[in-house]
Structure 1
Amino acid sequence: MLMRYSTGFCLLMSLTWMACSKSSDSTTTVGNWVHKVDFKGAARSEAVSFTINDTAFVGTGYDGTNRLKDFYSYDAERNTWTQRASLPDAAPGRNSAVAFAVGGKGYMGTGTDGVNKFNDFYEYDPASNAWTAKAPFPGTPRYGAVGFAVDGNGYIATGYDGTWLNDNYQYNPASNSWSGKADVPNSKRQDASAFVIGDSAYIVTGTSNLTTINELSRYDPKHDSWILKRAITNVSDDDYDNDYTSIAGSNCSVFVMNNKAYLATGAKPSISNVVWEYDPVTDLWDLKQPFEGTARTGAVGFAIKNRGFVTTGSSGSVQLSDTWEFNPTQDYNKND
């Protein structure tokens, strides 16, 4: 989900990187979480999020009883949530959908109501606060996919339609049309995480047949090609991955700040509060200060002006609505 989208969420010691090796002498981690105003809607998990300009939008999801179709926007400067238009009447409530934003519009599709899987697709215009049905997603109806936007187009990839998937489709908002693109390499999966840094998209981890995927892949949209990056578990003879014991998982939240990605929370396989920072320049992961809210899965992450946030999710049968902001360079302060 991008980003589950559209979505669309990995820390107990700090790591010091030197080329392709690291030492683990430090026993502290860097980063600080600050509790913000709670999400205004019903507590929920497996929602979607997308960001337009300096506003984040969060909607759909599962509240423990019902699949939802409402949406809310978050203003980080004012620390306020505002209710926005719900999905159209014809659109079922759902969880495990995907979302992304392109050209000042938000897009949401796929998901499940607990019985049916969907391939419908909708566009949100913040100027009119209205949703419009668009060309359906051409892949099989599914849930647990990922969505992302890069180079002016949107993408939906992977997911579960009764079997695990690795297909990838591009949406062109100008022509309201879809086209098949290169499949995600190696493992088919659901409940992965996707993020965009620069002109590349990344899909990381996820699950397939109860097996956690230990892979990170980078997508180059200009050449429609994928590159498999370093494994996200301890498989090499070098030292750099000695502590890679808690990156891989499912239903993690993710956001990007200052050209680094932050993978937080999720099921690993138990519910987690771990946070990892990914640097695409070095292709290495660094353990950060743990998420300070309740450990959870199915939360959403988003960034506004290089400020990263995590909200909603579930811990066991408890649905959550708290919102937290992460500063990756600030010292930990338990009192804020």
Structure 2
Amino acid sequence: MKKTRLLAVLLLLLTGALSSCTKDSADVDYVVGAWYKRSQFEGLARNGAVSFVLNGKAYVGLGTDGTDKFTDFWEYTPSTNTWKQCASFPGVGRYFAIGFAANGKGYVGTGYDGLNRLKDFWEFDPAANTWTQKADFAGSARYGAVAFAINDKGYVGTGYDGNYKKDFWQYDPLTNVWTQKPSFGGNKRLGAVAFVANNEGYICTGLDNGVYETDNWSYNPATETWTEHRKLEGTDTNGTGFDFSAVPRAYAVAFTIGNNGYVALGNKDTALLSCWAYSPTDDNWYQKTDFSGATRISGVGFGLGDAGYVALGASGSTRYDDLWILDSNADVD
């Protein structure tokens, strides 16, 4: 009888221990996503660089180390985890420029060379490994703007030209023409992020005269309309318990995996490591595992396949040349 009771107690304890380790347990906090180091960026450490993705490869270049303004460009192949240098950018070295890919080509423009705000605009052909100057950006010369591409057209908006901006422009690679579109629906801002989800372009975060913006807007190119989504304020009421007021920041990175947008790093009075995923399906934000590298601002982010990547950036006077990959579906205790 004593052995039977002892066995029952042990089974009860074991059952309780196993229950406390399950994903549904309220006693253990779980977040989703795991970060892993990849091949170090082959150029010099920097911040304020640009990136775009073409044919399953990422292209990264420009930026500054605090003194020099770079013009080199590099191609990253995820299948081999290797970097290869491309033709250098022909324009003046710069940082806080914009980049996007459309119609099989990469595009880079605007930015700051340390003295001047810029508006020149360039096309990169990966097959020929050549750059061609295109029509200047039709808005004012600026830096710290955002860009994305939908249906083989590029879109550029916000930034700083001596004043904070909210104008919004479309670039058509086939005609080499810029067309002004309805202005961004939120406040003017600098250092925001942009991503594409469900064939709409999203712009959020950033600073307007020292205020961290808490709105999130999407642009539908078919209807040329802006729609405001869930504010980055307060706590979720759908059961996740996530505090959305932790999402606003400036000089962060963003990328797209599947139909979800991701925002990571940056600063909000202090440097941040947190990473958040936005789902347009339920207009909700989900916290992911904190970035595993050092805190930083003004890095680059890009999505390749079913993974997101973060590279470069700065923390104080320190510049980084590391590359990290996010497995967004990995469970982490």
Is contact 1:233–1:241 with CA below 8 Å preserved after alignment?
A: no
Secondary structure at the residue paired with 1:108? strand
Moved more, 26-35 or 48-57: 26-35
**Secondary structure of the residue that 1:27 maps to in structure 2?**
coil
Ranges in structure 1 where 5+ consecutive residues have no aligned partner: 1-15, 17-22
The alpha carbon displacement at 1:240 in A equals 6.3
What does residue 70 of structure 1 align with? 72
Find the aligned partners of 1:57 and 1:240 in 2 and give their Cα distance.
36
Question: Which residue does 1:115 correspond to in 2?
Answer: 115
SS at match of 1:69: coil
| Length-normalised TM-score, structure 2 | 0.89
Match of residue 158 from structure 1:
158
The whole-number CA distance in structure 2 between the counterparts of 1:156 and 1:241 is 34
Which residue number in structure 1 is paired with residue 84 of structure 2? 82
Alignment of 1:117-266 (within 5 A): 117-234=117-234, 243-266=243-266
The structural deviation recorded for 1:245 is 2.8
Runs of at least 4 residues off by over 4 Å? 23-26, 235-242
- Separation in structure 1 between the aligned mates of residue 269 and residue 153 of structure 2, nearest angstrom: 33
Q: Residue 205 of structure 1 contacts residue 214 of structure 1 at CA under 8 Å; is this kept in 2? A: yes
1: distance between equivalents of 2:238 and 2:266? 27
Once the two structures are superposed, the pairs formed by residues 275-286 of structure 1 within 5 Å of their partners are 275-286=275-286
Tell me the alpha carbon deviations over residues 76-107 of structure 1, each in whole angstroms, 9 at most, x when there is no partner: 0100011111111xx11000000000011000
Q: Which amino acid aligns with 1:124?
A: F
Return the offset for 1:270.
1.2
The answer for the alignment partner of 1:96 in structure 2 is: 96
For the pair shown, which has the larger CA radius of gyration, 1 or 2? 2
How many angstroms apart in 2 are the aligned matches of 1:223 and 1:259?
20
Structure 2 spans left out of the alignment, 5+ residues: 1-22
Gap change, CA 1:307 and 1:235, over 3 Å in 2: closer
Identity %: 40
1:20-99 correspondence to structure 2 within 5 Å:
27-88=29-90, 91-99=91-99
Cα RMSD after superposing both structures: 1.9
Secondary structure of the structure 2 residue equivalent to 1:308: strand
Distance 2:252 2:26 in 1: 25
Distance (whole Å) between structure 2 residues aligned to residue 120 and residue 191 of structure 1: 20
Partner of 1:300: 300
- Give the alignment's TM-score, normalised by structure 1: 0.89
- C-alpha distance in 2 between matches for 1:272 and 1:78: 30
Q: Residue 272 of structure 2 aligns to a residue in which SS?
A: coil
Aligned residue pairs: how many? 310
The aligned amino acid for 1:266 is G
Of the two structures, which has the highest relative contact order with CA contacts closer than 8 Å and spacing of 6 or more? Answer: 1
**Following the alignment from structure 2 to structure 1, what is the Cα–Cα distance between the partners of residues 95 and 66?**
11
What is the alpha-carbon distance in structure 1 between the residues aligned to residue 196 and residue 225 of structure 2? 15
**1:26 CA displacement:** 5.2
| 8 Å Cα contact 1:234-1:241 kept in structure 2 | no
Higher alpha-carbon deviation: 292-301 or 229-238: 229-238
Equivalent residue, structure 1, for 2:287: 287
1:44–1:62 Cα contact (<8 Å) kept? yes
Greater helix share, structure number: 2
Q: Is the 8 A contact 2:274 2:290 kept in 1?
A: yes
